[in-house]
Amino acid sequence: MVKRWLIALLVVLTLAATTLASVVAHAAEKAKTQMIMITPSGISPSTVTVAKGTKVVWLNNASSTNILFSRGKEVAAASVDPSRFALDSVGRYNSGDIPRGGIASLSFVGVGKYQYEVVDQQSGGTRIGSGTVIVE
């Protein structure tokens, strides 16, 4: 009887520890993500300051847009796990076309100040706004 009780207690404690570890890991992951909204009127927030390892996610709520980092090779070297981003023919780090409701993301691992601009592809490249990612 005591043996069954101890086994049941051990199972409950193991499940509780696993659940707690999962919650902590999820909170840590969430804390390392910074959202930036792209709207027809601009970018919000336009400047973000993040810790190394933070994933920056741009959510496009405007028409078809591109995110362009002019210092492309520097940004490519300072980030990992790009979603949509690649160096283009003129050396910019370019998200390519992001449709309305789409996302693009980068995880920044290098300290620095990275400036970008967002352009509207449907209006021939009209600038929607510019932003800065500061990585500390």
Q: How confident is the model at residue 22 (pLDDT cuts 50, 70, 90)?
A: very low
* pLDDT tens-digit map of 60-80: 999 888 899 988 889 999 999
Dihedral of the alpha carbons of 55, 103, 67, 52, in degrees to the nearest 10? 0
Type and span of the H or E element at 6: helix 2-31
Q: How confident is the model at residue 37 (pLDDT cuts 50, 70, 90)?
A: very high
Mean pLDDT (whole number) for 13-42:
64
Question: What is the model's pLDDT at position 122?
Answer: 78
In whole angstroms, what is the distance from residue 45 CA to residue 123 CA?
A: 23
Q: How confident is the model at residue 14 (pLDDT cuts 50, 70, 90)?
A: low
Instruction: Give all strands of the β-sheet with 33-39 in edge-to-edge order.
Output: 42-44, 33-39, 55-60, 103-108, 79-83
Question: What is the model's pLDDT at position 8?
Answer: 62
The predicted model scores a pTM of 0.75
Residue 27 predicted with pLDDT over 50:
no
Question: What is the model's pLDDT at position 28?
Answer: 43
* pLDDT tens-digit map of 72-131: 889 999 999 899 999 989 888 999 999 999 999 999 999 999 999 999 877 777 889 999
Residue 19 predicted with pLDDT over 80:
no
Question: What is the model's pLDDT at position 64?
Answer: 85
